[in-house]
A = this chain, B = another copy of it.
Amino acid sequence: MSNEHSTGRKPQDTDSLDARDSGYFTEESSIEAVTQRNKNAKDDRVRFAMDVITRKLHEAVLEIEPTPDEWLSAIQFLTQTGHLCDDWRQEFILLSDVLGVTMLVDAVNHRRPSGASENSVLGPFHVKGSPTMEMGANICQDGKGEPMLVHGRILDTRGQPIHGARIDVWQANEDGFYDVQQKGIQPEFNLRGNFNTAADGRFWFRGVKPKFYPIPDDGTVGSLLNVLGRHPYRPAHLHFIIEAEGFSTITTHIFDPHDPYINSDAVFGVKKTLLAEFKRIADPVRIKDEGFGEPFWDVEYDFVMAVI
């Protein structure tokens, strides 16, 4: 090598270039550097969403200041979460659930007038094509569990009954399992049914008292809940999808307010308007009137539908 290179150019000699205009990266201009790059997006909605996501991600990095090892842990967490997903399990939805994101996305999409019934999460256990039944039918096919009578009305926001509302109900059994989780143990379509309201808007059917159950906690989401000092349980509930022509479909639960996990649903599905009351009825006259042979749980709840 010759000696011509004895005075090396220092890296900071390139000050004439402006980092903002050039898109070169600095900690201070990082959000702008990235969002400016997205300005030719083919889809305005994607551009807008990615701009917000970029800004929030960078704000999070600036606030947390993750070490390189912590960043790598986050990468590995996401990778393992992806690897757990298959046709049967969706760990990213579970992650969205336990971070309250699923409920928030639902909330911003279903802002309803005061008094209208609120939504909760759909959950992974809804099954299309469950049987349509006559009012009063028992959706429990195997006789397991404490008997329950569920009844109420489907109303509009003026308190008028809705004729021809379709009620799709499903629930876990007394052990906290849905039929699809116990194929070969529970009958097909156990604890599921569809009902159609008459002009009085009333519905009534029989089931069994539901029980709390854990979300799948043997994956990354379970590990996260564990380190966050959180349990994986959902309080006892009944699922409903209620549809009627001209009204916003309600996808929701009703909850037992006396459940031990009612204040700490792992997926934040509980809203105070969704608390029903589960009354234990031991009065022999009522037991006889309702056609039960033993004490039963009486659950009364009216759903209020908002016009579209």
A residues with CB within 8 A of B: 1-2, 4-5, 8-12, 14-15, 17, 19, 22-27, 30-31, 33-34, 37-43, 45-50, 52-54, 56-68, 70-71, 75, 78-83, 85, 90, 92-93, 96, 99-109, 111, 114-115, 117-118, 135-136, 149, 151-153, 204, 224, 226-230, 257, 263-264, 268-275, 277, 286, 289-290, 300-304
Contacts and interface: CB of A to CB of B under 8 A. Distances in A.
A281 to B, nearest CB: 10
Contacts of A117: 11
Which one of A65, A114, A257, A274 has the greatest number of beta carbons of chain B within 10 Å?
Answer: A65
A261 to B, nearest CB: 11
Contacts of A5: 151-152, 204, 300
Nearest to A71: B105
A164 B253 CA distance: 68
Contact of A101 (B26, B61, B82): B61
A304 B10 contact: yes
A292 to B, nearest CB: 12
A230 B33 CA distance: 13
A187 to B, nearest CB: 24
Nearest to A277: B9
Contacts of A37: 228, 230, 264, 268
Given A61-B108, A82-B82, 5 more contacts: A1-B290, A9-B301, A11-B301, A17-B275, A22-B272
B1 A136 contact: yes
Contacts of A33: 100, 268
Contacts of A224: 50
A264 B23 contact: yes
Given A38-B229, A228-B38, A271-B24, A60 B53 contact: yes
Nearest to A55: B60
Contact of A273 (B12, B151, B300): B12
Contacts of A277: 9
Nearest to A17: B272
Contacts of A40: 228-230
Contacts of A65: 108-109
Contacts of A46: 227-228
B49 A66 contact: yes
A119 to B, nearest CB: 10
Given A78-B92, A270-B25, A61 B289 contact: no
B268 A2 contact: no
Nearest to A82: B82
B286 A99 contact: no
A149 B1 contact: yes
Given A2-B286, A105-B71, A100 B34 contact: yes
Nearest to A21: B263
A84 to B, nearest CB: 8
B100 A30 contact: yes
